[in-house]
């Protein structure tokens, strides 16, 4: 099994790398931090192919994909690179952060899949995995860019699944709740059902193997997400306006 993972240097990407390494996969790891990537590779059961780049740069992804594909077809591509930072739309200095979040979480996800899709289609197999979030179900305070990006990911993955229907290529969306990673440790509010990354990767890996179209992890947050959809907007606005906000970048 050959697996390519973006955002692999920490957080969910690192957890996926360790999960698939334990199952004997040959890994291609892509991230901006070369030092962290190589340290992760050195800690695995066998060295991974490490690629330093930014998912916002399609040339970086094409170069990495072309190199990894030289050794054979890729079975699973996991687009886990992501940024979660609070913004306030009235702050002019947050405009660039907004753009960075959308470019990384949405455009970067699509660009991660693009070089691998033709090969998967031609052989009629393979799995594309996109990391969405429960934060994309409804808007969260201070998280307008992040919530918007994850809502876009969910709908993008659904459209991609329809486009590839009947080709043999599986499209899997994983929507995490709160996972204990560097991204969530800055949150100044309670995080119900907080899950460790290795436990998350275990459950996500099972969903990927089964080809589940959409999975919320942990399952308790799936129930919360369903309930959130039915809360009247007036009540939702009033309650969430009093909640803690995602910190802005300092």
Catalytic residues: 146
Of all residues in the chain, what percent are helix, strand and coil, respectively (each to 5)? 50, 15, 35
CB 116 within 8 A of CB 74: yes
- CA–CA distance, 11 with 159 (Å, rounded to integer): 27
Where is 174: in which H helix or E strand?
strand 170-176
Where is 219: in which H helix or E strand?
helix 219-230
CB 55 within 8 A of CB 104: yes
Where is 3: in which H helix or E strand?
strand 2-6
The residue to which tokens 């009247």 are assigned: 232
Widest distance between CA atoms in the chain: 55
């Amino acid at each position: 099994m050959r697996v390519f993972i973006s955002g692999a240097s920490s957080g969910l990407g690192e957890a996926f790398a360790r999960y698939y390494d334990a199952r004997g996969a040959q890994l291609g790891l892509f991230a901006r931090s070369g030092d962290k990537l190589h340290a992760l590779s050195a800690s695995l059961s066998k060295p991974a192919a490490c690629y330093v780049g930014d998912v916002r740069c399609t040339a970086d992804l094409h170069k990495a994909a072309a190199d990894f594909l030289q050794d054979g077809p890729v079975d699973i591509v996991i687009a886990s690179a992501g940024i979660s930072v609070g913004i306030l739309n009235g702050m002019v200095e947050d405009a660039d952060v907004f753009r960075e979040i959308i470019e990384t979480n949405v455009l970067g996800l699509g660009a991660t899949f693009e070089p691998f899709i033709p090969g998967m289609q031609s052989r009629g197999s393979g799995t594309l995995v996109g990391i969405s979030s429960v934060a994309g179900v409804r808007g969260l305070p201070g998280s307008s860019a992040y919530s918007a990006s994850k809502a876009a990911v969910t709908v993008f993955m659904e459209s991609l699944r329809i486009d590839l229907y009947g080709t043999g290529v599986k499209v899997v969306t994983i929507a995490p709740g709160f996972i204990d990673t560097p991204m969530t440790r800055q949150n100044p509010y309670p995080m119900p059902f907080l899950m460790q990354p290795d436990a998350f990767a275990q459950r996500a890996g099972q969903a990927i193997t089964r080809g589940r179209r959409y999975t919320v992890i942990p399952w308790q947050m799936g129930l919360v997400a369903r309930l959130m959809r039915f809360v009247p907007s007036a009540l939702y606005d009033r309650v969430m306006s009093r909640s803690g906000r995602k910190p802005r970048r300092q």
